[in-house]
Amino acid sequence: MKINQILGLNKSQAELDFVDIDIGQDLPLFIDPFFLSIKRDNWSVEATLTIKSFFDRLVNLIRNNNEPEAKALFAHLSEPNSTCLGMSMGDPRGRGVGDTDAVKIYESLLKSRAIQTGLIRDIEDNILFVDNFGKDKLSDMTTNIITKHLIQYTQNQCNLHNIPLRKGVTSGYFWSRADNAWISEYTEMLVINNKKILLVPKGIVSFSKSYTPTKYYEQFVLDYLQNEHLTLGSALVQKRKDGTPYVTKKSVEEENPFSKTFLRKFTQDHPEVLQQFKEETDVNSIPDSDLTGVSLRSISSSLIARLQSIPSGSESASDFHNIIIGILEILFYPQLINPVKEREIHDGRKRIDLTFDNASKRGIFQRLSHNMNIPCPYIFIECKNYTRDVANPELDQLSGRFSTNRGKVGFLVCRNIDNMDVFLSRCRDTFSDGRGLIIPLVDQDLVKLLQNVNDGENEYTEQFLSDRIREVTIN
């Protein structure tokens, strides 16, 4: 049964920031450290730094011939089943790095000499060059290392959706950057049927079809060798009827059959090809429709009906707040991720309804920072289920929570504004005074945006936000 159903959230996958796992069987999805390393949201950056801390420690020990301590680092790479991701059949149990596999992987690392020669510099490179090391082992290894980050994420999501946590639960071992060692602690955790559950952001999982040894070999190594044979005029060069020389990929492959041993040797001779592979490989977030097979159009129609059924007023504020979380998730994912509810600032003197991490690599949320020089590592959301208009006090409340470090962009979401032109002029005054960018959204806006949602596309949302921001920022 899906965790969404177990917890009674009544939400689709598209309305959730985390993967809606089935606690009875693993989903064939993987946490990809390469994917993490190219993301720029705060959570992913922190998790990547922890992965690098572990791997740097391992590399230093191996290069200093301290094999006993290096081998000991693998002692806590257990087979995680708390995420319910991977390739297990039946009950989730992990098929990653078990005790036996840990020894084999360590021995393969030493045997390959990939670390000693500097060939492997990042943890994800193991999948390219180390024998008996695949995407499932890499994912489970990563899960163990970043368990603390996953616990914190799970706690935030449970707070967001009012899901109770169990106190005093042992975390299991995780890698600590501060201690440069494996540690464990007692903390609050999500426990279902006496099983610890770690929620995983849907924005960091992949089917692992991009950063693979097969893709590296077929699309980069063989291409390089084809061009090399052409340049050298080797025996593999053939000529077309018009005299144009060419080399078939099949002939190059027959001369250099795929193996990780070959990849290690080739990359030692041509490290620039590996660098090109890393620079040109882009892992995109999996669309919600690919995770569930349900189109966003059908989900959006349901959300519109639910939104319109919620009355204005304080008694329904919680219902309004709850549905806005799902609507914004659909509209802004994967640009905005990791929503956190009622985050305290200024030593608890002020609270923010919602904050999202800005994970955008393109589009309007990226342009706000790079083109308009507005700091926005986080995007703030204030939800007002008022029966009256919002006005200057609500603008001042939101702008008072901005800062250069946290960000100076926020959405004020409310039911209706009688005179939008007047309110936009107030937002324009706030922006002109250097107090930040506030973007108003009312029910009518949300309905239009939801009506124009398409799977894997966000052109309408992009244009709508660009127009609304232009109205605020240009006199």
CATH number of the domain that residue 361 is part of: 3.40.91
Indicate whether 168 and 42 sit together in one domain: yes
Is 440 within a domain? yes
Indicate whether 276 and 344 sit together in one domain: no
Indicate whether 139 and 11 sit together in one domain: yes
Q: pLDDT by residue (tens digit) across 338-396?
A: 999 865 554 544 455 899 999 998 899 999 999 999 999 999 999 999 999 998 999 99
Is 128 within a domain? yes
Per-residue model confidence (pLDDT) at position 130? 82
Indicate whether 119 and 234 sit together in one domain: no
Structural domains counted in the chain: 3
Indicate whether 66 and 143 sit together in one domain: yes
Indicate whether 107 and 183 sit together in one domain: yes
Is 285 within a domain? no
d(CA 145, CA 397): 39
Which of 206, 228, 245 lies at the terminal end of a domain, its last residue?
206
Confidence at 87, pLDDT banded by 50, 70, 90: low
More confident residue, 101 or 185: 185
Question: What residue numbers bound the domain in which 217 lies?
Answer: 213-280
Is 317 within a domain? yes
Per-residue model confidence (pLDDT) at position 388? 93
- Range 105-109 average pLDDT: 73
Averaged confidence pLDDT in the chain: 88
Is 376 within a domain? yes
d(CA 123, CA 141): 9
Is 412 within a domain? yes
The residues that bridge with 343 in the sheet, in sequence order, are 352
Indicate whether 364 and 410 sit together in one domain: yes
Is 289 within a domain? no
Confidence at 281, pLDDT banded by 50, 70, 90: confident
Which of 280, 303, 325 lies at the terminal end of a domain, its last residue?
280
Per-residue model confidence (pLDDT) at position 81? 83
Quick one: which H or E segment has residue 169? strand 166-170
Nearest one of 386, 252, 381 to 324, comparing CA atoms: 381
Is 337 within a domain? yes
Q: What angle do CA 118, 124, 128 make, to 5 degrees?
A: 75
Indicate whether 327 and 248 sit together in one domain: no
Indicate whether 124 and 234 sit together in one domain: no
Indicate whether 241 and 356 sit together in one domain: no
Indicate whether 42 and 169 sit together in one domain: yes
Confidence at 39, pLDDT banded by 50, 70, 90: confident
pLDDT at residue 289 is higher than 70: no
Indicate whether 71 and 192 sit together in one domain: yes
pLDDT at residue 107 is higher than 90: no
d(CA 441, CA 382): 10
SS (H, E, C) 313-354: CHHHHHHHHHHHHHHHHHHHCCCEEEEEEEEEECCCCEEEEE
Which of 226, 252, 280 lies at the terminal end of a domain, its last residue?
280
Nearest one of 147, 157, 145, 218 to 190, comparing CA atoms: 157
